[in-house]
Structure 1
Amino acid sequence: MDEAINRALMIYDNERCYPAPMNAVTQHIGFKAVLNNPAAFALITAMSHYGLVESPEEGMLAVSRELELYKNSHNEQGRQQLLLKWLKTPAIFAELLEKYPDSLPSRTTLKFDLIQRGFTPPGADACMQVFQNNLDFVKYFDYVAAQKLAAQSAMQDDTASYGFGRDGGNGRGTTRSAGQADRMPIRLSGGRRAWVEIPTPFYASDKDQLLAQIELLVTDD
């Protein structure tokens, strides 16, 4: 993938994101012509598979806007996200990473998996090599490990902010706010959370009124 990105950037340096005839594109990436040139054809095919270039019309090729963003962005996190997206653009790579999210199995097992998916033995070997090179280039599993570590750290921070173990060690995840009310966290989808303050004392009629108000909010939404 790194070679495909470098060649696509060569096209961008000459044409920006404008469509260009195939002969001009092949010259930009260091070849005289694409016809009867397996190396040039393979590179252009690879760039297409990763989503680095597109063909707006027959015989024309244009660099994607995402590649332009990658080249001009100074946001390393944004560039990393683009690399991850391109890594998973080929369907076979996305499927393998979904099956092996934390690390790869042995080469023997991975080759068997690819053959079961319809690859020939030589094709499986070639696919494994490209896949491994891409993972190394993107530092994919290092990124996954760092994300997990950050998530664990955030969870610990949430636990501390929720006040688990406070209020006499009741373990309910509540904090006592001013006015003798327990402030309780409620986790929502998408990483969101809501806070509910429960006064003391709290009556059954209070619960019914609270639920009715929540229902009203949902209805209004």
Structure 2
Amino acid sequence: MAVNITGGKMRSPRYPVIGLGDAIERVRLVYEKDHLNTVPKEVVAEHMGYKTVNGASLGVISAVSKFGLLSGGADGMRVTDRALAILVHAKGDRERSSAIEAAAHAPALFAELFEEFPNGASDNAIKSFLLGRKKFLPAAVPVAIRAFKDTMAVVQEEVVDYETGDDDGPDDQEDFTVLQPQTPPPAAAPPLPPVGGFEIGFTGQAIRLLGNIGSQEEADKVLKAIEGLKFMLPARAEEQPN
């Protein structure tokens, strides 16, 4: 992808200047002051803590919009349904987690980064990708990395909530995390645990589910975990040779 050139000035590809966590808090301020009303951009900037519409406030408003949390433009802006799902639902709720996943992948650059680094990456790896593949200007790289890492942390936190839930039982299951690849399971699968016990996590390139589901409550936990982990899967399964 070539660098954008406007009036002879070279620019990096578009990206949010703040991460998803910050964007959620910014749109929360707008929602608390004006709910779902359509208001001028100047009012949005004031709600976010800026005195005027300037370069800094426009950059933040643009970033919140790139995550799909604000809609509209010069004629007025409003909080979106996606933002509402994040703001009104408790952490771990399926609608909130789905909205967060969609928001995290809404900026085109972040969608590419999640695809390129599904298990996380160092700052240097992301820097090389931005400079070499995306033709970023060096000055923009630290801001883009910080925004992406913040966004990835929000997604990870939601997935961790899916996995842990409110279960106070013994902590004897595998420690599955989003940012580190897991060791593939052995060729011979271990015996299934008794009814009512199950393990779920991300192993290799697939979601691993082992065990038996013995209640509606446990079924809901499995569905939430799968919803939180599915963004790590490829868009479609690879065809196996005949």
How far apart, CA to CA, are the structure 2 residues paired with 1:126 and 1:31?
20
Choose from 40, 48, 52 the match for 1:33: 52
SS in structure 2 at match of 1:153 = strand
Whether 2:138 is the aligned partner of 1:101: answer no
Q: In 2 relative to 1, CA 95–83 (structure 1 residues): closer, same or farther, beyond 3 Å? A: same
Residue of structure 1 equivalent to 2:202:
148
2:153 and 2:91 map into 1 onto residues whose CA distance is 21
Q: Once the 2 structures are TM-superposed, how far is the Cα of residue 19 of structure 1 from its aligned partner?
A: 1.0
- Residue 77 of structure 1 and its aligned partner are, at CA, apart by 3.5
Query: AA paired with 1:49?
Result: K
Aligned residue among 103, 107, 126 for 1:90: 107
How far apart are 1:98 and its partner, in Å?
A: 0.8
> Could you tell me the percent identity over the aligned residues?
23
1:66 to 79, 82, 88: 82
- RMSD across aligned positions (CA): 2.7
Taking the aligned partners of 2:35 and 2:201, their CA distance within structure 1 comes to 34
Structure 1 CA distance for aligned equivalents of residues 129 and 179 of structure 2: 22
Please state how far the C-alpha of 1:54 moved relative to its aligned partner: 0.5
Match of 1:52 among 69, 74, 97: 69
- The alpha-carbon deviation at position 126 of structure 1 amounts to 1.8
- Structure 2 Cα separation of the partners of residues 73 and 6 of structure 1: 14
Kindly indicate whether structure 1 or structure 2 has the higher relative contact order, using CA contacts under 8 Å at least 6 residues apart: 2
The structural deviation recorded for 1:2 is 1.4
Shift of 1:75: 6.5
Q: Secondary structure at the match of 1:23?
A: helix
Tell me how far apart the structure 1 counterparts of residues 139 and 74 of structure 2 sit (CA, whole Å).
32
Q: Is the contact between residue 45 and residue 52 of structure 2 (CA under 8 Å) also seen in structure 1?
A: yes
Establish whether residue 134 from structure 1 lines up as the match of residue 151 from structure 2.
yes
Give 5+ residue unaligned stretches, structure 2: 1-19, 160-176, 181-199, 214-235, 237-242
Give the aligned length. Answer: 154
Q: Distance in 1 between matches of 2:114 and 2:207?
A: 20
Preserved contact between residue 68 and residue 106 of structure 2 (Cα < 8 Å): yes
Q: Does 1:123 align with 2:136?
A: no
Quote how far apart the aligned CAs of 1:147 are. Answer: 4.0
Greater helix content: 1
Structure 1 residue corresponding to 2:92, chosen from 76, 88, 93:
76
Say whether residues 1:9 and 2:28 are aligned partners. Answer: yes
Residue 89 of structure 1: CA displacement?
0.8
Gaps of 5+ in 1: 159-189, 191-221
Counterpart CA distance in 2 for 1:4 and 1:128 is: 15
| Distance in 2 of aligned mates of 1:103 and 1:65 | 29
* 1:69-114 C-alpha deviation (Å, 9 max, x unpaired): 222224623222221211111111111111111221x333321211
Q: Is the 8 A contact 2:201 2:209 kept in 1?
A: no
| Change beyond 3 A, Cα 1:114–1:10 | same
TM-score (norm 1): 0.61
1:30 and 1:131 map into 2 onto residues whose CA distance is 23
Question: In the alignment, what sits opposite 1:112?
Answer: 128
Residue 200 of structure 1 corresponds to which residue in structure 2? none
User: TM-score scaled to structure 2, two decimals?
Assistant: 0.56
Q: Distance in 2 between matches of 1:132 and 1:151?
A: 23
Counterpart for residue 166 of structure 1: none
CA distance, structure 1, for counterparts of residue 118 and residue 42 of structure 2: 40
Partner of 1:164: none
